[in-house]
Amino acid sequence: MAPIAATVIGLGYAVAIDKARGEPFWKALVFLPTGISGVGAGVIWSLMYAQPLGNPGHQRQLGLVNQLLSLVGLGPLNFPISTPSSSCPRRSRASRPS
- Is residue 40 in some structural domain? yes
Q: Range of 69's domain?
A: 2-76
pLDDT score of 95? 53
pTM for the predicted model, two decimal places: 0.46
- Lowest mean per-residue pLDDT among 13-27, 36-50, 53-67: 53-67
- Is residue 26 in some structural domain? yes
Residues 51, 41: Cα–Cα separation, whole Å: 18
- Is residue 82 in some structural domain? no
User: What b/e sequence results for 25-39 when a residue is b if at least 16 CB atoms lie within 10 Å of its CB, and e otherwise?
Assistant: eeeeeeeeeeeeeee
pLDDT score of 6? 92
User: What b/e sequence results for 49-82 when a residue is b if at least 16 CB atoms lie within 10 Å of its CB, and e otherwise?
Assistant: bbebeeeeeeeebbbebbeeeeeeeeebeeeeee
Count structural domains, the chain. Answer: 1
- Is residue 98 in some structural domain? no
